[in-house]
Chains A and B, each alone.
Chain A
Amino acid sequence: MAGKRFQVLQGNEAVVEGGIAAGMRFYSGYPITPSTEIAERSALRLPQVGGKFIQMEDEIGGIAAALGASMAGLKAMTATSGPGFSLKQENIGYAAIAEIPIVIVDVQREGPSTGLPTSPSQGDLMQSKWGTHGDHPVIVISPSSVQECYNETVRAFNMAERFRVPVIFLMDEIVGHLREGCELIPPEELTISNRRVDREFNGTLAYAVQEGNYVPEYAPFGSGDHFNVTGLFHNLDGFPTNDSEVTDSQERRLLDKITKRRDRIEKWEEVDTDDCEVMIICFGGTARAVEGAMDASHQYDSVKIGMFRPITVWPFPEAALHKILKHNKHLRQIIVAEHNDGQMILEVQRLVEGTVPVTHLGKIDGTTITPDEILEKIKEVY
């Protein structure tokens, strides 16, 4: 059923195919627009590869069952949209502290609450990082094409398994419902990371890590190691504790797991950033309008435009941006284009520290930013 190597697929469908190529064998979720095609295709495709699909009674059950399956050793995913993403937040934190690999897809929709269910938006960018309470590690990836939905879902699973963290796949309706050609690269031609299991600590010290490692490598349930998993701060054997030293060391390790491995996690795209005068920073489906604007501007021999696009949006590719700021002597203006009222711009302003003017091009009416609007914005500010 995976069928031909080259197919026209929807972004949402490509996520499922990428997941299956990466080894996903469990999906649990709840229907919600505009992510439902992910559940539908998982229901069809997973049993064909011996995997499991279950439609749970609610969004919270959707992530909870996926986490249970992950504890039993399967690569697991759940997908949702706005309201469902809010409902899943508590268990995203649980995945973070208990260090259970999982991929959570959020196909964003416009506005708070029920909002505009089928409209493009990127209003969950900050929620994807800070949505669950407390300091916690999370990796967030945002694709801008159907092919990237496929390839980056593979990377999302790889990082979830490798770092034992929740990885959020932050999509927008532009990409989720778009149909494009997609190469279904078979698993044997992909880099696939599987969960590492290290039973040297005799299984009971599930949360102990080897020197220089930040990731506990406990075995799945059923392997013979009788350890405890909890959302409370815990000792190395997973048993709850209130000890402030243990709490600090566990929390630090959780965060270090990401911050000390940024080089393996960050990913971005740069177009003409060496010598552009105006650099547009964007992510996800917005990039398509930015690219459209760059196409149009080539025809008019106008100002030189570049694009910087984080693919891993959290952690934000800080070093890459700093490098551009340091080396590009022509850069006069940065425009952050995003389908929200100003979220990524906060991170950009923090990193640019006033060295280059930063302006915002946002849209929150449920329609897409167009190439014309980007060109107009450039004229306005440059």
Chain B
Amino acid sequence: MPSKLIENTMRVNRLPHIWCPGCGHGILMRDVAQAIENCGLDPDKVVIVSGIGCSSRAAGYMNYNTLHTTHGRAIAFATGVKLANPELHVIVITGDGDATAIGGNHLIHAARRNIDLTVIVFNNSIYGMTGGQYSPTTPHMEKGTTAPYGNIDYVFDIPKLAEAAGATFTGRCSAYHAQQAIKLIEEGIRHHGFSVIDGVSVCPTYYGRKNKKGDSVKMLNWQKENFVDVKVAEKLPPEKLEGKTLIGKFYESNDKEEYTDMYMNLIERAGGNK
């Protein structure tokens, strides 16, 4: 029997999902649904926009207005949805390849505009749907099917990238730390501006196997042991933070006016509200 949350937020007849056993995406999808519920949003006004890849299949399972678009373009489609009807709550579910490789340009420009979208990157550090090629978040010298000698690329730090580009809310959460993730996503949705959340998932099938990270439990345990909340980290000496990954809210600012608000003002100035 599905839980009440699942019944309320998912297309139950479309479950079980297509993700591999042990994949972290299901946890993150549930976190997003819980955050939407916690925010008390009218489901009729919630639009989930996704791109292409494992992450982006989430849209199909979620019982809202869902738009599963083309590879890399979720944020661009979402920009059109939001600008066309600013009353809609537009949440983008995307992957590391979708958002930062093929769709990297849309990510930084939406950040620059500060349009009120909430982007959650289901980041599994690999191209899963195509069978395990290295992505912009595959760690340096780790392996993928297209990096048989180790990946010589360096990674993107997604929250830093987004902040530098102008996002007004950034953070990171993990599949393991579900409660913190729900809270962070909730805050991201409530934030009136462009929010980017790096949702670190686990891919035991491709990334894990290729890099000898063990099974899903082992990978989740690794998150448990190596991820440190940013507030806790503030009180720790640097040597205790070596090799650790920070999670939590990294940045929030309300200094910049939101894009669709500015556009509505522009319409007013142009005389279009008559």
Contacts and interface: CB of A to CB of B under 8 A. Distances in A.
B267 interface: yes
Contacts of B73: 60-61, 64, 91
Residue among A66, A72, A231 with most chain B CB within 10 A: A72
A71 B63 CA distance: 17
A183 interface: no
Contact of B272 (A47, A91, A223): A47
Contacts of A225: 65
Contact of B60 (A46, A48, A67, A240): A240
B79 A56 contact: yes
B44 A222 contact: yes
A57 B105 contact: yes
A226 B81 contact: no
Contacts of B64: 226
Nearest to A74: B84
A325 to B, nearest CB: 42
Interface string B51-80: 000000001100111111110110011111
Contacts of B88: 72, 221-222
Contacts of B81: 68-69, 71-72, 221
A226 B63 contact: yes
Nearest to B112: A57
Interface residues of B, number: 43
Contact of A56 (B14, B109, B270): B109
Interface of A: 25-26, 28, 46-52, 54, 56-58, 60-61, 64-74, 76, 90-91, 94, 221-232, 239-240
B83 A65 contact: yes
Nearest to A226: B63
B38 interface: no
A61 B60 contact: no
B222 interface: no
Contacts of A66: 80
Given A50-B272, A67-B77, A228-B66, A73 B109 contact: no
Interface of B: 11, 14, 43-45, 47, 49, 59-60, 63-70, 72-73, 76-85, 87-88, 105-106, 108-109, 263, 266-267, 269-273
Contacts, number: 146
Given A94-B69, A222-B44, A58 B105 contact: yes
A71 B67 contact: yes
B125 to A, nearest CB: 25
- Please report whether the interface of chain A is mostly helix, strand, loop or mixed according to DSSP: mixed
A20 to B, nearest CB: 11
- Please report whether the interface of chain B is mostly helix, strand, loop or mixed according to DSSP: helix
Contacts of B66: 226-229
A221 B85 contact: yes
Contact of A47 (B72, B80, B82, B267): B267
Contacts of B79: 28, 54, 56, 61, 64-65, 68
A69 B272 contact: no
25 contacts: A25-B84, A28-B79, A47-B272, A52-B84, A54-B80, A61-B76, A61-B79, A61-B105, A61-B109, A64-B73, A64-B80, A67-B77, A68-B78, A69-B81, A71-B80, A72-B85, A91-B73, A222-B87, A226-B11, A227-B65, A228-B60, A228-B68, A231-B69, A232-B68, A240-B60
Contacts of A49: 272
B68 A51 contact: no
Residue among B66, B77, B271 with most chain A CB within 10 A: B77
A54 B69 contact: no
B174 to A, nearest CB: 28
B106 A51 contact: no
A64 B109 contact: no
Contacts of B109: 56-57, 61
Given A52-B263, A60-B73, A221 B80 contact: no
B270 A48 contact: yes
B84 A69 contact: yes
A63 B66 CA distance: 18
A68 B76 CA distance: 8
A68 B67 CA distance: 9
A26 B83 contact: yes
Contact of A57 (B44, B77, B106): B106
A239 B11 contact: yes
B141 to A, nearest CB: 32
Given A48-B271, A61-B76, A230-B59, 9 more contacts: A47-B272, A49-B272, A54-B79, A60-B76, A64-B69, A69-B83, A71-B77, A222-B87, A228-B59
A230 to B, nearest CB: 4
Contacts of A57: 76, 105-106, 108-109
A316 B177 CA distance: 59
B272 A26 contact: no
Given A56-B79, A221-B47, A91 B270 contact: no
A272 to B, nearest CB: 46
Contact of B80 (A48, A58, A72): A72
A321 B76 CA distance: 42
B272 A73 contact: no
Contacts of A71: 67, 77, 80-81
A26 B69 contact: no
Contacts of B272: 46-51
Residue among B43, B68, B78, B80 with most chain A CB within 10 A: B80
A72 B270 contact: no
Contacts of B72: 60
Given A68-B77, A239-B14, A52 B83 contact: yes
